[in-house]
Structure 1
Amino acid sequence: MNFPEISERAQAIGAKVEAFVREVVFPYEQDDRRDHHGAPMDVMVMEMREKARAAGVLTPHVLPDGSHLTQVETAHVLIRSGLSPLGPLACNTNAPDEGNMYLLGHVGSDLLKEKFLKQMLSGQSRSAFFMTEPAELGGAGSDPSMMITTCKKDGNHWVVNGKKAFITGAEGAKVGIVMAKSEDPDSMGGACMFVVDLPDPAIRIDAVPNTIDNSMPGSHATVTIDALRVPADQMLGEAGEGFKYAQIRLSPARLSHCMRWLGACIRAQEIATDYACRRMAFGKTLIDHEGVGFMLAQNKIDIKQAELMVYWCASVLDTGSLGTVESSMAKVAVSEALMRIADNCVQVMGGNGVTDKTIVEQVFREIRAFRIYDGPTEVHKWSLAKKIKRDWRETQAATQEA
């Protein structure tokens, strides 16, 4: 495989995004508001977005005509927005909004695009994706077929009932995409998706837990949905096709996470390298001690391998393939590599690596969470193993027929 060529427009956008993140966003990393999931962080995000709008880098992965950059171009841009944990928030390339914008752009009706997508593209509104459910209720997690939230048609509305868990950004979001299993006979028990205004009294936030990560405003709420009435024209796509739409969203969204967190690990490597080249111990700089220098060398190798995996998977998605297998492989390989990088950076910096003097300790925490969301490593490996077995059976059958 040849390394995909980066277009001139992507290089230009990427350069502007990187300059903005380094010059404008980096100083916000010391702002006391960045550690809050609620209103203070939202105020700071909107403040940064006004500056991003003025700099021409707000929602840079979506072109003025509403079309998206290619996945390869998006990778070039999102890696650079991720150089700070705050960069995606400032540039409106963050999760879950980036994935929700992608889904609405590809499946949404003109009505939904005008009512909901437009406000998201402008950076005025945050969104949430309501799919995961509480494990203690036996609800959907990595296996969406276990969904217990239901929807039923009632005239020109649908009524949704259920509980959701780990809903990123629910608190403070203005747009929600809700996934539920249909009880309507015409949908044959398939899943449906609805786009709704938030807040809504029928969607109650029960708890907002403290979590190891804190880069996403609104945290990861537990939610009760009690007789939510949604107009039929706010269904996303067709009834019963929700599982298919989930894959349309999740395959590129997994890769987008890889892009953003790769950028964060590139930055952590920069900080750890600077520290190791300045800090003296036992008569020489830390980097001259093999134990330290080798960790940074391994990081450089892992960064390059992660970059290659990201661009390879992006090029597959650009062929029009759903890319489920490729995005699973990328999610596993990149998240595990980034975990090694972040851990090494903390170790190189010693005591300073576990303080909030730099973003290194936050990157470590965020990457640890990344290994779980959008499917933990083990689920993706299980899925890949199933495909290996299926391919083997098909090969055996073809051989026997021949």
Structure 2
Amino acid sequence: SYTNNLQLMTTLIPGEFFGGEAGSYIPVKFGTQHNASANIIANQLLFSGPFIVGLQAASTYKDLTQKNFDKQEADIKEAVAQSYYSILLAEAGRDAFAKNLQTMEKRLEETRAMYETGFLEETDVDQIQIAVSTLKNEHISASQLVEMSYRFLIYRMGYGIDSNIVITETLEGIIAGLTDELLRQEFNVTEHYDYRIVNEQEKLAYLQVKMNKYEYMPTLSAYLNHQQMAMRNSFDFASTGGDWFPATMLGFNLEVPIFASGMRKAKIGQSKIELEKTKNMKQDLSNALELQVQQARIDFRTSYQRFLNERSNMDLAQKIFDRTSIKYKNGMVSSLEMTIATEQLTGAQTGIISAMVELLNSKLALDKSLGNI
């Protein structure tokens, strides 16, 4: 800092100090016109309860942020897996309709040939034609669903909408790799990301109680002040001949809270209530997660049993369709029976595809409830 004393302050000194009469005063001026100083101040907090708790809270907040990120990542993985299974479902449906359509188009050609030779009536041709047209529409819808399912998966994965991906797995291949290992896996609720998030929230609630209590404690800090001062009657601070006079001070500050009109006590009471609420929420969550795992295991077993039943129905529908096709070629059954067999086969194919997707989704839900994702 710099000060220019345009007029130095005058001080009166008793005259008898200099041999004058008693009661007289002599005016004198002390100081120089130009003063300059340079200060360096260092402060160090030695003890502060809220500051210590604040550091702990910062670390806990970091952990909480990471656990929230882990949960969001798991949710994204689940959504991507569901979209992936939707593609497999759509492709399986499209392929089934394509196979049935190819078979029925052959039946239509055979029916027309038999009609032209007089073995069948025009109604038989119309019946098969309706079945073919229905299968064509279903095949077109299934193909469009495949395209949109791919686009949705690309979107879920964060790729550009014009990107291309190739899926090499099939529903049957994934189902074949399923085991009952998930049903035997032990569930550790403390490893579940939802539980870990609430656990971090409980830590923060405890630290809030601790911080409010520490507000009763004193705060101690130290400071060091070093100063260099120069005094001149002319502005020549840059000259090497002038003196700079040092001054150094070391001190401590102790702040002791005495009275806060009951506010601190109220804050402690409120933070304790919040801590108890968080503890209760964690216990409720623990019970809910245990029930969720039990329900997910039941759903997985049920879905697997439904898949087995639908597979059995599919095998029967395929046998009926094959036998009916042979009989139809030999003129032993009508076109109506052929159409009914086709509809039964299509329904069975749709049923087993739906059962496979339900099974995979139930496995996905069980994986998530166990914290495997």
TM-score (normalised: structure 2) = 0.26
Larger RCO, structure (CA 8 Å, separation 6 or more): 2
**Bigger Rg, which one:** 2
TM-score (normalised: structure 1) = 0.25
